[in-house]
Amino acid sequence: MSLIGSQYTEFLNHMSLLWAIILLSVGLLVLIKGADWLVDGAVAIAKQLGMSPLIIGLTIVAMGTSAPEVAASIEATLNDKPGIALGNVYGSNIANLALVAGLCAIIRPIAVPRAALRRDIPIMLAVSLGLYGVLYNLQVGYAESILLLVLFVGIILFMIHSERKRAQKDSHITEEQESTIEHAAPRQPKTRWFSSLLILIGLVFLAGGAKITVSSAEVIGRHAGLSETVIGVTIVAVGTSLPELLTCLIAAMKGHDDLSIGNLVGSNIFNTLLVIGASGLAKPYSIENQPELIGGFYWLMIMMLLLFSALAFAFKKISKSTGAVLLICYGGYIAYCLCP
């Protein structure tokens, strides 16, 4: 495996710009198809298990689309690059709620489910604000990592239990809702095993497509003369958010707003708890030499989370106009990252 990895690294180091552009296109196509299968399988599983697409988005889909962040951050800590590990989380969280939500809303306004307003968005805010207390000593050791992972498991179990209780109170589905779901996914798989297979294949395609896309984008960045730090906080962060972007775009176009919001909010919770916890458990690290990770970039992430939450609570949806505001804010964030 190490031989294959070294050969792959050598290939990337000598990849031409033309090949990088070709592979970037291939990676995006693989991502699109993977997202399509994942959404169809996830919505079908939700129906077959009597669970809402929101909770499927918060768990199965969010875990799958967060896989690139997990892999990238663990690899970064093992290579003694904690700045990339944490920066990837911050950048991905900002990209999810500004770039991904903004683009999806421009294409089609996204309604925010009541359960997300009452339960999931407050949890996302609490987890993100609580991260400051974990990082305050500028260390991510075994104790901090285990705490984050235990909290992650507890929150996921709480969400599933809460959603099941809510589903029991509202167990029937109206004929109008039924026809909407059938119309939105006319080729929806009918058997649970086939739905599960679609989810699995979709996740594999998302992971593979993200790897190809990020690698080729890094090569393009090097050819453009960008520094490793700029590539990390922009290209890598956006690249690892591509599964969320494509999944949410496909879900939005198919009318599954619950799945879109669940994926965005769930992915941010996963990034904050699972990604940082798993990377710290793989190899504890210190950020004493990178105070901006508990300063500027951290508070930029918090500001974006607060903005997204305020818009969701105020309007109960992410409209085209609010989507445009989010995209403008993301453009400002990228400009800030590129400033010397």
Query: What are 140's strand-pairing partners?
Result: 285
Q: Give pLDDT, residue 173.
A: 44
Q: What letter represents residue 322's amino acid? A: T
Q: Give the count of beta carbons closer than 10 Å to the beta carbon of residue 143.
A: 12
In a domain, 207, yes or no: yes
Under the banding of pLDDT at 50, 70 and 90, the label for residue 257 is confident
Specify the CATH number for the domain of residue 151. Answer: 1.20.1420.30
Q: Which residue has the higher pLDDT, 321 or 184?
A: 321
Residue 239 domain boundaries = 15-338
CB 156, CB 59: distance < 8 Å: yes
- Which range scores top for mean pLDDT: 50-59, 182-191, 311-320? 311-320
pLDDT score of 182: 42
Report yes or no on 282 lying in a domain: yes
Identify whether 8 is part of a domain: no
> Which of 46-55, 178-187, 204-213, 253-262 shows the lowest mean pLDDT across its residues?
178-187
> Is residue 181's pLDDT more than 50?
no
Q: Does 6 fall in a domain?
A: no
Asked if residue 187 has pLDDT above 70, the reply is no
- Calculate the dihedral angle through the C-alpha atoms of 272, 273, 275, 279, rounding to the nearest 10 degrees: 120
CA distances from 213 to 28, 188, 220, 239 (A): 7, 28, 10, 7
The average pLDDT across 299-309 equals: 94
Q: Is residue 1 part of a domain?
A: no
What pLDDT is stored for residue 185 in this prediction? 42
Taking 90 as the threshold, does the pLDDT of residue 83 lie above it? Answer: no
More confident residue, 322 or 247: 322
The answer to whether position 297 is within a domain reads: yes
2 found inside a domain: no
Q: What is the pLDDT of residue 328?
A: 95
Instruction: Write out the DSSP string of 283-322.
Output: S-EE-TT-GGGTTHHHHHHHHHHHHHHHHHHHHSEE-HHH
Cα–Cα distances (Å) from 145 to 131, 254, 290, in that order, read 11, 38, 19
Taking only the tens place, the pLDDT of each residue in 214-240 is: 677 667 767 777 655 566 667 767 777
User: Considering its fold, how many domains does the chain have in total?
Assistant: 1
Rounded distance between C-alpha atoms, residue 138 and residue 289, angstroms: 9
The lowest-confidence range among 35-44, 134-143, 239-248, 268-277 is 35-44
Among 3-17, 147-161, 220-234, 267-281, the least confident range: 3-17
Mean pLDDT, range 260-277, rounded to an integer? 90
- Using CB atoms within 10 A of its CB, is residue 120 exposed (0-12), middle (13-18) or buried (19+)? buried
* pLDDT for res 121: 94
Q: What mean pLDDT, rounded, does the chain reach?
A: 79
| Residue 10 is assigned to a structural domain of this protein | no
211 vs 274, residue with greater confidence? 274
Residue 127's Cβ-count burial label (10 Å; 0-12, 13-18, 19+) is buried
Residues 6+ apart with CB under 8 A from 317: 109, 110, 111, 112
d(CA 247, CA 70): 18
